[in-house]
Structures are given as structure tokens and as C-alpha cells.
């Protein structure tokens, strides 16, 4: 079992529930957060990609942290997304996250402007200096257009508050390189890597699919920690069909997860534009895959 999991092992990249009219649903967020923690999540990541951070306001982000903190208390860590394409704005969100009660911040690479590595490093250092909160870097070049190169992470690891990476780089060698040379905690940001990264010393995962089956994903790591690696592999493989359906259907994971949560009668609500809801056939297919997994 890894000893370096600053935010826990089993983190859910939680959706942001909205009402039917598209307003922030704080009651729904509290009920969903409670369900996730009760079912095995020891951390929640709010206002990330799955949480539709580009379409929620600064005030909504802070309100969400405060509401979820009220719901889960000290039963789970709360990490909230503060990354934007503007360093000044990111610093403001970081300060607001600390005031709202977050335990840490998730900071994605500034997107669109595609800063070079020295500018990227300076950005992350400024954020880490802006509050007393620990920082989880979010490396997802497929969305941002900019990789946080392993050499950059190695330098940033020297900062006492840069403690973790959510890894969506699909560079397994790069992750292991940093793990071997630093104390930075690596969290799988792609559900198909949950077990693989954990097995080489990763801290756990930040999972979109955990919105649906938090207990099934936790069971994978629990089996590994118990020394039953064959069972861990079996459970990971059993979840693969749902992971593929949610994350590789041609739709954003936010859309597929919210569609399935709505179909299951769980707090979710609509997505905000420019995203659009999944069609009925897609929802039916997702539900069928879900039923096969939990049967």
C-alpha cells in the first residue's frame, strides 16, 4: 500500500449537479457527495473537467466547496479546481477555495495560450505561493494543448506545497520517472490506468466513473492492498466495459455520467452549454452496461 496519498486513495471527479433550469443545485451536490463518500470515496474533486468548471462562476465554485464540506465534514478530503488560462484569475480562485474550506486545489495547465515550460513552471509556483493549500497539478495535454513535462514536475516537486499530480498524460514512463525520483503523489486521471499506476507506486485515482460505481472502483485498490493482485486485476477488467462506455463513446465523460446518474435517479441534472445531453439510445446503452457490471 502506498504511504503517500495526501488526499486519500479513492477520489471522485464529481459532477456539478444543476437544477432543471440550469441553476447550481447545492442540495443535490450535498446528497451526491454524501452518497459517494458513504460508498467508498475518501476524497472528492470538485470543479474539474467532469465538474464543468469552464461554465460555472467563481461564486458557484466557492458555494459548491462550502456546501460539500458541510455535507461530508471531515469524512473526505475536498480538492477543488482553480485552473484557468489566466494566472491572476487562478490566484483569485485559489484564495477563494481556501476561504471556502477546501483541503487542496487542482491546477490545470493554462490552456489556449500554450505557455512554454518555464512560464508553466512559474505559473504553478505562483499558485502554490498564493495560499496555504497543497496543490495537485493536472496534466491533461489532450485538452490544454500543453504537457507538464516530467522534467518540469521534477523541479516543481521541490516546492513544499506541490504534492500531487492528476495524470492524464498517457505517458506511463514519465509518471514512473517522477515517482522514482520524488515524493510527489501520482493519481490516475484515466480510469483504465487506476490499477496500473497504483501498482507501480501511484497514490490512487481521481475518477469520473466513480460517480456511478464508487464501491466497484475502490474494491480494485482494496484487493491490491490485501495482496490479492489477481482479484484486483479481475475487478479492474470487469469495470472496463463501463469505463469504455463512459469515457470513450465519442461524448465527454461529463455528458455520459450525467446521463446515467439522471437515469438512475441520482443528483445530476442537465449539462451546461455548449455541452448537450446524451440521446435516448446512448442512455439506454449506458444503462445496459451498468446493469451488467452491478448484476
Residues annotated as part of the active site: 138, 166
The β-bridge partners of 166 are 138, 187
Q: Which residue has the cell 469515457?
A: 247
Amino acid at each position: 500500500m502506498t504511504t503517500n496519498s495526501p488526499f486519500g486513495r479513492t477520489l471522485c471527479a464529481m459532477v456539478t449537479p444543476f437544477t432543471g433550469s440550469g441553476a447550481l443545485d447545492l442540495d443535490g451536490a450535498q446528497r451526491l457527495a454524501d452518497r459517494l463518500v458513504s460508498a467508498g470515496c475518501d476524497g472528492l474533486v470538485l470543479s474539474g473537467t467532469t465538474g464543468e468548471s469552464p461554465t460555472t462562476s467563481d461564486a458557484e465554485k466557492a458555494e459548491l466547496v462550502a456546501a460539500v464540506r458541510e455535507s461530508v465534514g471531515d469524512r473526505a478530503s475536498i480538492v477543488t479546481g482553480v485552473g484557468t488560462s489566466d494566472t491572476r484569475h487562478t490566484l483569485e480562485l485559489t484564495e477563494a477555495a481556501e476561504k471556502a474550506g477546501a483541503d487542496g486545489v487542482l491546477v490545470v495547465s493554462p490552456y489556449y495560450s500554450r505557455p512554454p515550460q518555464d512560464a508553466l513552471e512559474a505559473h504553478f509556483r505562483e499558485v502554490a505561493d498564493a495560499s496555504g493549500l497543497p496543490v495537485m497539478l493536472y496534466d491533461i495535454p489532450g485538452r490544454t494543448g500543453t504537457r507538464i513535462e516530467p522534467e518540469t514536475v521534477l523541479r516543481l516537486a521541490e516546492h513544499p506545497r506541490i504534492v500531487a499530480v492528476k495524470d492524464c498524460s498517457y505517458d506511463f514512463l514519465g509518471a514512473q520517472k517522477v515517482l522514482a525520483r520524488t515524493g510527489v503523489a501520482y493519481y490516475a486521471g484515466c480510469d483504465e490506468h487506476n490499477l496500473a499506476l497504483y501498482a507501480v507506486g501511484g497514490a490512487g485515482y481521481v475518477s469520473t466513473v466513480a460517480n456511478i460505481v464508487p464501491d466497484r472502483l475502490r474494491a480494485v485498490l482494496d484487493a491490491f492492498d490485501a495482496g490479492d493482485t489477481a482479484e484486483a486485476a479481475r475487478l479492474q477488467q470487469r469495470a472496463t466495459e463501463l469505463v469504455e462506455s463512459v469515457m470513450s463513446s465519442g461524448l465527454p465523460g461529463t455528458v455520459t455520467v450525467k446521463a446515467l446518474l439522471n437515469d438512475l435517479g441520482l443528483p445530476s441534472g442537465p449539462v451546461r452549454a455548449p455541452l448537450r445531453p446524451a440521446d435516448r439510445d446512448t442512455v439506454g446503452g449506458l444503462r445496459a452496461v451498468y446493469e451488467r457490471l452491478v448484476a
